[in-house]
Amino acid sequence: MAALLRSARLLKSSPVSLLRIAGANIHGSTLSRLYSGALAGRGVGVHPTQGPFSLGVNRFSWPLAGVRHFGVAPKQQGESRDEGGSAVRNRQVQQFDWALTRLDSSVRRTGRVTKTLLMGIFHDSCRAGYPSGNQALLLLRSCGSLLAELPLSERTDIAHRIWDKLQELGVSYDVSHYNALLKVYLQNEFKFSPTDFLAKMEAANVHPNRVTYQRLIAAYCQEGDIEGASKILGFMKTKDLPITEPVFDSLITGHARAGDMQSAENILSVMRGAGIEPGPDSYLALLNAYAEKGDMDQIRRLLEAMQKGDVSLMDRDFMQVLFTLAKAGHPQHIPEILAQMRHERGYVPDAMNLCLSLITQGLEDTAFTFLKTFPTVQAENKESPGLGNFFLRHCVDSDKPMEKILHYCKELQDANLHSSALQFTLQCALEAKKTGTAMELMKAMKAEGLPIRPHYFWPLLVHYQKDKDTQGVLEVLKNMQDLEVLADVDTYYTYILPSFSDLDSASSALKDVGCAVDTETYISAQLRSEAVRGNLAAVHALLSSPSLPPIDLIIFRGSLILGFRLSNDVDNMAKVSGPGWRLKARSRVLWFAEKCISNNQMEVLENLVEMTGKLFECDRDDMYHYTLRLCSENNDWRTAEATWTKMQEENVIPRERTLLLLARHPQEQRPGGALRGA
């Protein structure tokens, strides 16, 4: 963090102060990741340098890149010493500090930047006005390998969008911005014409520097175009620019991709002849060249030579070789590279970013193999196994095949590496609003015997509700029925009914998809919906309906109180209050009836049924239904027949559930005429 804050403070300092800290040794800060790349710390386009103000980045000199770019701010057009100009500059500095802090926090925690965070900072900077050149540089440098979760083409599109928009807002670009764009092209493997790029710089009256030429050479070498790289080398010689290690590293890659491995190997000798001892970056370039060809014999030879020459690679370097092997289609050699890992400090964030990059490139099986090496590093975290959350989330976001996702979940759980892989993956699918994926995961959970709750469907319903997509809502309801999950009052009231223009159309649509609309749950949701709108007439109509099932007043009491406050309909307030209190009394009676059944108290239950017929307006079919339930549980068909006789004497018309209960009695003991009258 110290390096980041130092960069921000240097905005207000003079070039002289920058020169004083040019040789400062500040290894290990997250700024290297922010300004150089999360995974490809070394390699094509990201190289060590010899000069003190180089824009190249490696394990030793990366802090100087941050100082060079963010310490010396380009002069803004129209800068003046008046009060207005000072206010604008102060605002720019504040915005830069704010953006830098947010990006640094993300890189420090995860080793990467998310698209949401980057675009949020970009849009906020545009809305705030007065974006500075330093802000532009910060945003551009975040569009490369730090966006590990995005495809390469999308990263480049974001960089172009930022470039065009900030230019439109008046940001003045200098050579550092063009160099940053070049680096993004290299990290994202974007194919472009170096000559056209130089022409673009010339048209903008921006002169290329040594780093520009180095990165243009790297661009030619990425395509194996040694002739093009030689032309740029000629420019550098005519301008007396030093040929540093990054140039030689790029030439190694260029010769290898041109199919001339002998010339690639000879570059090491050329470097020694020029007085430059090949370092880890040069050997890494050669290792990657052999990895592209799957030549493990040469890789082993190089590793032995490096060991004898006291040249060591970091875990991040081996990850780059691993990534190259996987991309080139040689996953069988990956275990041998994994064996070289030392699990240094910072291994896990780098490894996570490698997994994300592999998944993005369609190499999720290799990423999963690599993921399983994590527990050796995280062995101390045994309290709540949750390995691979980031992996499962990215598989969902990348729309990987469901068969693979389920396989990964099963392996993680079987190995006790994740305690709830299916549930977490379902959460990711719901957050991403991927209905199909979520439904498949719920089916898998049901097959495993895991519970499916109604609130699991809420994120999907919210998505369709916002768009007033009633067909989407009904589709979710169908899926709930397929999974035998009953919607509760909150689901109907909060997420389903508001999607329709009125309750009548909602009821009609729900009937069409096979949902019952005469249940306590649905009518309770209707009562809450009408009450909260202050539609007391509709509330009274529902409460007064003879087919109203038993409903607990507490379910919609809060909504009813709110409706009373919103409405001036005193008449219906009085009408609702009567049925409301009777409803409360009835709910207590029904509760007592349930207790009688659970305690097997037939005599008490019969007395209750008789008393309620005289004291309360309780539904008689409901009361006799409780008696028949207890008869059924006790196989007491004699009492059941007596109950049926009483129902006929009182002219009680049995509902379907009562008839079904009577139909369970043995044919020879069934109450006479019970079904014939139905």
Does residue 200 register a pLDDT over 90? yes
**Could you tell me the two tokens for 571?**
């008449």
More confident residue, 105 or 16: 105
Q: What are phi and psi of 180, to 5 degrees?
A: -65, -40
- Residue 129 to residue 503: CA distance in whole angstroms: 47
pLDDT bucket at 445, cuts 50 / 70 / 90 = very high
Does residue 275 register a pLDDT over 60? yes
Does residue 6 register a pLDDT over 70? no
User: What pLDDT score was predicted for residue 155?
Assistant: 96
Percent of the chain at pLDDT above 90? 45
Closest CA relative to residue 56, chosen from 286, 279, 256: 279
Please give the average per-residue pLDDT across 195-215, as a whole number.
Answer: 95
Does residue 385 register a pLDDT over 70? no
pLDDT bucket at 612, cuts 50 / 70 / 90 = confident
Does residue 421 register a pLDDT over 50? yes
In this prediction the pTM is: 0.70
In angstroms, the Cα distances linking 209 to 14, 15, 173, 238, 377 are 22, 18, 14, 13, 43
CB count in 10 Å sphere of residue 209: 17
CB count in 10 Å sphere of residue 462: 15
Does residue 152 register a pLDDT over 80? yes
More confident residue, 194 or 660: 194
User: What pLDDT score was predicted for residue 397?
Assistant: 94
Helices (H), 208-279: 210-222, 226-238, 245-257, 261-273
- Residue 259 to residue 513: CA distance in whole angstroms: 64
Q: Give the bridge partners for 418, in sequence order.
A: 386
Q: What are phi and psi of 386, to 5 degrees?
A: -150, 35
User: What pLDDT score was predicted for residue 582?
Assistant: 55
Q: What are phi and psi of 420, to 5 degrees?
A: -150, 60
Residues 6+ apart with CB under 8 A from 287: 299, 302, 303, 321
**Could you tell me the two tokens for 185?**
């092209």
In angstroms, the Cα distances linking 324 to 252, 287, 329, 373, 511 are 15, 9, 9, 18, 57
Closest CA relative to residue 228, chosen from 199, 249, 251, 207: 251
Please give the average per-residue pLDDT across 394-402, as a whole number.
Answer: 95
Q: What are phi and psi of 674, to 5 degrees?
A: -60, -40
pLDDT bucket at 575, cuts 50 / 70 / 90 = low
Most confidently modeled range among 28-37, 329-338, 377-386, 599-608:
329-338
In angstroms, the Cα distances linking 95 to 83, 84, 124 are 18, 17, 9
**Could you tell me the two tokens for 279?**
């370092």
pLDDT bucket at 59, cuts 50 / 70 / 90 = very low
Closest CA relative to residue 267, chosen from 312, 314, 221, 322: 221
More confident residue, 552 or 444: 444
- Residue 398 to residue 405: CA distance in whole angstroms: 11
Does residue 60 register a pLDDT over 80? no
Could you please report the per-residue DSSP string of 549-607? Answer: PP--GGGTHHHHHHHHHH---HHHHHHHHHHHHHHHHHHHHHHHHHHHHHTT-HHHHHH
User: What pLDDT score was predicted for residue 106?
Assistant: 84
Round to the nearest angstrom and report the end-to-end CA distance of the chain: 80
More confident residue, 617 or 232: 232
In angstroms, the Cα distances linking 299 to 288, 333, 337, 377 are 9, 11, 10, 26
In angstroms, the Cα distances linking 197 to 11, 175, 193, 446 are 29, 12, 6, 57
In angstroms, the Cα distances linking 105 to 131, 150, 244, 623, 642 are 21, 20, 33, 64, 76
Domain boundary assignment for the chain: 1-42+52-75+84-190, 192-278, 281-361, 366-378+385-592, 600-678
pLDDT bucket at 42, cuts 50 / 70 / 90 = very low
Q: Give the distance, in angstroms, between the CA of residue 655 and the centroid of all CA atoms in the same chain.
A: 50
- Residue 243 to residue 223: CA distance in whole angstroms: 20
538, 567 contact by CB (below 8 A): no
User: What pLDDT score was predicted for residue 118?
Assistant: 92
667, 654 contact by CB (below 8 A): no
Q: Does an H or E element contain 623, and which?
A: helix 620-634
Lowest mean pLDDT among 51-65, 362-376, 625-639: 51-65
Closest CA relative to residue 312, chosen from 283, 291, 336: 283
What is the amino acid identity at position 379? A
In angstroms, the Cα distances linking 119 to 114, 115, 162, 593 are 9, 6, 9, 60
In angstroms, the Cα distances linking 263 to 46, 270, 273, 283, 627 are 21, 10, 15, 14, 95
**Could you give the angle at the alpha carbon of 659 between the alpha carbons of 654 and 662, nearest 5°?**
120
